[in-house]
Chains A and B, each alone.
Chain A
Amino acid sequence: MNSTISINNLSKSYGDVSALKEINLNIESGELFGLIGPDGAGKTTLFRLLATLLLPDSGSAALCGFEMVKEYKHIRNILGYMPGKFSLYQDLTVLENLNFFATVFNTRIEDNMDMIRDIWVQIEPFKNRPAGKLSGGMKQKLALCCALIHQPKILLLDEPTTGVDAVSRSEFWQMLKGLKTKGITIVVATPYMDEANLCERVALMQSGEILSLDSPSGIIANFEKDLYSFEAKDTYQLLLDLRAYPFVNSVFLFGQSVHYTDVRDVVVLSDLKDYLKSKGQDHVEIKQIAAGIEDCFMALSQQNTVQE
């Protein structure tokens, strides 16, 4: 198998906290891969290990065939890494930052313009502005240019869309699609569950473990329970009433509806309706629905907690 990134039993602890627990993962060449999970899932630790900035406690990984620990110098040449915290020089201008990163990698901006042109044209009007004075969306574009200036084969993006508004988020994913056509392997970490659908495959992560690894549609297909959506005028009261129902398995708010699964294999909706009526819920709309990634994540994370 020609995987660009192959990770075997990789573990890393900080004191008593085990941040990554025997992770196994293969990412194919040219893939757009998502690491989806909340803070503390181990996404950043995994990136720092792959970027050869941290040493693992055990396990190994190879990037484009280079061994992560022994051949770290080779890896640094083929890897672009955009950390979660804005890590450019705030008092250098946009252009100076880009020049600096090009020089560090022993190359020139002109030689790599093809790679970054689509993104660069958006920030070029501000090329003489200090990086610290850019808006959030512009900083992100500059950081992406700096990570790409040496034409890496693999790009690691640590939460590029966190704290960014919905418009900039959607633009950022458009840029990633553009980069994918250039053949770069892209690994994106994100806490936004809805962004999973924009990746070819994803690993859902929590507390240093991979809960599930598949295409978004594959993860959804593995959702075991029948899922129902309930709507009523007072959503909060509906939530409380469903939570108190004897056969409840899970009940979660989703926008203005409540998503419900039952412990029984066959859900007796008439019984459930009678129960809600007895609680004074007269106008409840019930639909069976397909699960989304967030439903899957919550179901998997609860199974995982129970097993522990």
Chain B
Amino acid sequence: MNSDNKVISVRNLTKKFGSFTANDDLSFDVYKGEIFGFLGANGAGKTTAMKILCGLSYPTSGEIMVAGLDVYKQREELKRNIGYMSQKFSLYEDLTVFENIRFYAGIYGMSSKDIKSKSDDLLKKLDLVHARNKRIGELPLGWKQKLAFSVAIFHNPEIVFLDEPTGGVDPVTRRQFWDLIYEASRNGITVFVTTHYMDEAEYCNRVSIMVDGRIEALDTPEGLKNKFEAKDMDEVFLRLARKSNYKE
């Protein structure tokens, strides 16, 4: 992690929907190769902020740069420099493994030749060569998740956004998924991740916790545990999130 090299820089980000303030004056930086955990209770404003960082929604105000690009003016270029994966939306179930890779890589403008050679390498690495022509719908959930992550970083983006990527799989498979995240981070890809699993929060280099649209805490997991005198991240999270004034 190189703290001179900011990949995401957020200054005074505010997003309002009518009279409701979903993001209230957020400021934080994320550095190259960092695994950054973005936590918060349901309704705290995580998804809103993530959409803005991905160039899918305009902020109401604030200065925000992602991969050196402005989220107001350089949205299309920004989208080419990031990857995105979520549990809810990732691969097309009725396309095969290879068709999915080709589809996503094609969208990001990779050449057919690159797609072919790189996908062979990827399938070997994931031990999925035999499943190349199988439909995604036939694969176990754990394989799908690993493949979806690999597809999200296939075009070698500067940042990958992971929105609750690992629900539902067994603990061994969940850890295999985190192996892939660590590996990507070593290769210089910045990882921005939301999760409800508090033990996963501890795998992150730094963690921010949102409550009612504001960032209430941001530090290393160790730093947060010390500050809140908590034995684990679950306890840190419960202490902060219980302060919420969020009403229906």
Contacts and interface: CB of A to CB of B under 8 A. Distances in A.
Interface residues of B, number: 36
A165 B42 contact: yes
Contact of B196 (A164, A170, A193, A206): A164
Interface in B190-248: 196-199, 202-203, 221-222, 232-234, 237-238, 241-242, 244, 248
A136 B171 contact: no
A81 B179 CA distance: 38
Q: B164, B182, B232 — which one has the most chain A CB atoms within 10 A of its CB?
A: B182
Contact of A167 (B140, B168, B175, B242): B242
A165 B211 CA distance: 12
A193 B174 CA distance: 12
A254 B248 contact: no
Interface in B74-108: none
B43 interface: yes
A135 B182 CA distance: 33
28 contacts: A37-B170, A38-B141, A38-B170, A39-B168, A126-B248, A135-B43, A136-B42, A163-B164, A163-B196, A164-B42, A165-B41, A166-B234, A166-B237, A167-B237, A167-B242, A167-B244, A191-B168, A192-B197, A193-B171, A206-B170, A239-B182, A253-B175, A255-B199, A255-B202, A255-B203, A255-B221, A294-B171, A297-B170
Given A40-B141, A255-B203, A170 B238 contact: yes
A225 to B, nearest CB: 16
- A: contact size bracket: 35 or more
Interface of A: 37-40, 125-126, 129, 134-138, 162-168, 170, 191-194, 206, 235-236, 239, 252-256, 294, 297-298, 301-302
Contacts of A252: 171-172, 175
B248 A167 contact: no
Q: 6 closest A-B pairs (Cβ-Cβ)?
A: A255-B202, A38-B170, A39-B168, A165-B41, A236-B182, A167-B241
A255 B42 contact: no
B228 to A, nearest CB: 14
Given A166-B237, A301-B172, A134 B178 contact: no
B167 interface: yes
A168 B222 contact: no
A135 B198 CA distance: 21
B169 interface: yes
A255 B233 contact: yes
A276 B42 CA distance: 42
Given A134-B248, A253-B178, A255-B233, A297 B42 contact: no
Contacts of A39: 141, 168-169
Contact of A135 (B42, B196, B197): B42
Contacts of B175: 252-253
Contacts of B198: 166
Interface in B136-156: 140-141
B199 A38 contact: no
B1 to A, nearest CB: 11
A294 B173 CA distance: 12
B41 A298 contact: no
B124 interface: no
Contacts of B202: 255-256
Given A165-B41, A192-B197, 9 more contacts: A38-B173, A39-B141, A135-B248, A167-B244, A236-B182, A252-B171, A253-B175, A255-B203, A298-B172
B11 interface: no
Q: B141, B171, B222 — which one has the most chain A CB atoms within 10 A of its CB?
A: B171
Nearest to A254: B199
A136 B47 CA distance: 15
A97 B206 CA distance: 43
A302 B43 CA distance: 38
B224 to A, nearest CB: 11
B215 to A, nearest CB: 16
Contacts of A194: 234
